[in-house]
Structure 1
Amino acid sequence: MADVHSSLVVDNTMGAAYIGVLCAGMLYGVSCVQTWFYFNRYPKDVWYIKVLVTATWAFDTVHQILISHTVYRYVITNYNNPEILSRMVWSILLEVLFNGFIGLLVQGFLTLRVWRLSNKNIPLTVTVAAVVLAEFGCSVAFAIQSMQLHTWIELGKLKGLSMTVNALGVVADVLIVAALFFFLHRSRTGFKKSDTMISRLILFTVSTGLLTTICAIASLVSILIWGKTLIYVAFYFSLGRLYSNSLLATLNARRAIRGLGEDSDELSFSLQSLSKFGQRPFTDSNRPTNLSIKIDTIHEYVRDQCTGDPQVRTCPIHCDQI
């Protein structure tokens, strides 16, 4: 009787898994286009960024294959076979591991941005990194333990661990977005061009981080309310794809965002010219006097390093900063 009940539960919610695979598939198509666009437009990027993009796309591909195999096995191969519905297929368990790999790569990349934008704030960076690693560790633990189970009823024993993975994902996303928002907002200069660029960075950071946060919350809430169904996988299947697309969108938007500050040389020159005549460029005494130097530096770094100039070795707003 328990197996029959389990079969009915899975059967009635397999549609949610099917929708999740369709959504993940569409997002996978977008990530493929973005990956092609990245390598076509940024061929001179540093090697570790290229490795990051390649690894993310590879894990994305494996994950899409696994979840497609899961739905195909239940819906097509075993169509009208209720007995198989009580048993778990190995691919739906293994996909958790690859989702964890994708999250680790993308959130690790964002943690590095927090470290650099915060002027190497060790306590903050360690806190964010600890949450990210804890999330990945729980994903690995879930995958290992679940592979030893056979039925959906047995999988219910790991509900707490599954909720922990989603909860840690939410916490990590919120910490990263909040930290990036704070440090980017604090770096405003008061000049229109540079502030426009920073505002665009803030909007981009918040919007991409918000999508993954909402998806992780939806998956967590689904487990809490409909824990005996597969509704939560409709969100969890797409979570890794949202991470990869947010990474690729951030990298591919660099030139557009950089273009917002292209006139900062002219602005900086005007300020330096005024200084030669002993005039203060600001009436507000609270403004720092070395602001023109800061804008000059930001502009030159973004122009040289993000176009792949090998002569520039360090850059506070490098491609892994934006």
Structure 2
Amino acid sequence: MNTPSPRSTGPSTPYFAGSSPYTSYPNNMVLPGGFGATLIGGLVSTMLYGITTFQSYVYYTHCSEDASTIKFLAAAIWILDTIHASFMCHMLYYYLVKLTHLLLVTDMLNYCTLTSLEYIVWSLPASVLVNLLLITVVQSFFAHKIYYLCRLQVKWLVTAPIILSILVHFGFEMAMIVSMHSYQSSHLHWHTNLSL
């Protein structure tokens, strides 16, 4: 049985680069190797969403004596995590299934590869925004609890750096979301040319 070498780049044999940052598919379609890490991150995020769903169920069945604001906060966290997981799934589907299928069936492979992968699908910045809101709510809740658990003399000494860290993180993430939006707006013509 004649087995093709891994370096064979003929039209019928895909070339899978082991040490290259790119993964090559049939018809010389090239996707950046970072999509594997994105897929793994999305799968881990979805697994953690399942754990959050289970914890929410356990909380509502066993902790009925908690205040209504805490129950509302737990529901809001679960809803934000649900939205984040659905946006992540949409983003992964767009880049790894829909776009890959488009690149495999189109005739303009060399042109489409770069321009299609540079387009930021709407669910990516939306997922970052929802995740930012989720993180800010959770960290603010913990800062509030730490404030009330500390001694009177050190309350602000302990919680001020935490609050400052939350605000700095919020600012950097918002700047990243705005830069994603401005990048997407300046490169929108690529998306309309591909008719996705």
- TM-score normalised by structure 2 residue count: 0.68
The RMSD of aligned alpha carbons is 2.4
1:169-189 C-alpha deviation (Å, 9 max, x unpaired): xxxxxxxxxxxxxxxxxxxxx
From 39, 63, 73, the equivalent of 2:60 is: 39
Kept after mapping to 2: 8 A contact 1:10/1:86: no
With a CA cutoff of 8 Å and minimum separation of 6, indicate the structure with the bigger relative contact order: 1
Q: What does residue range 53-92 of structure 1 map to in structure 2 within 5 Å? A: 53-80=74-101, 81=103, 82=113, 83-92=115-124
- Determine the C-alpha separation between the residues in 1 that align with 2:174 and 2:69: 24
Kept after mapping to 2: 8 A contact 1:31/1:57: yes
Partner of 2:35: 14
- Determine the C-alpha separation between the residues in 1 that align with 2:160 and 2:31: 41
From 119, 136, 146, the equivalent of 1:104 is: 136
3-state SS of paired residue (1:88): coil
Given residue 168 of structure 2, which amino acid in structure 1 is its aligned partner?
A: A
TM-aligned CA deviation for residue 11 of structure 1: 2.8
Kept after mapping to 2: 8 A contact 1:21/1:68: yes
1:253-291 C-alpha deviation (Å, 9 max, x unpaired): xxxxxxxxxxxxxxxxxxxxxxxxxxxxxxxxxxxxxxx
Partner of 2:166: 132
Q: Gaps spanning 5+ residues in structure 1: where? A: 1-6, 154-322
Partner of 2:178: 144
Q: Which structure has more strand as a fraction of its residues?
A: 2
TM-aligned CA deviation for residue 127 of structure 1: 2.0
Identical counterparts, % of pairs: 27
Give aligned pairs, total. 147
3-state SS of paired residue (1:45): coil
TM-aligned CA deviation for residue 38 of structure 1: 0.3
Q: Gaps spanning 5+ residues in structure 2: where? A: 1-21, 24-29, 104-112, 188-196
TM-aligned CA deviation for residue 107 of structure 1: 1.0
Please say if 1:51 is aligned against 2:85.
no
- Determine the C-alpha separation between the residues in 2 that align with 1:87 and 1:147: 11
Kept after mapping to 1: 8 A contact 2:120/2:180: no
3-state SS of paired residue (2:175): helix
Partner of 2:108: none
TM-aligned CA deviation for residue 141 of structure 1: 2.4
TM-aligned CA deviation for residue 116 of structure 1: 1.7
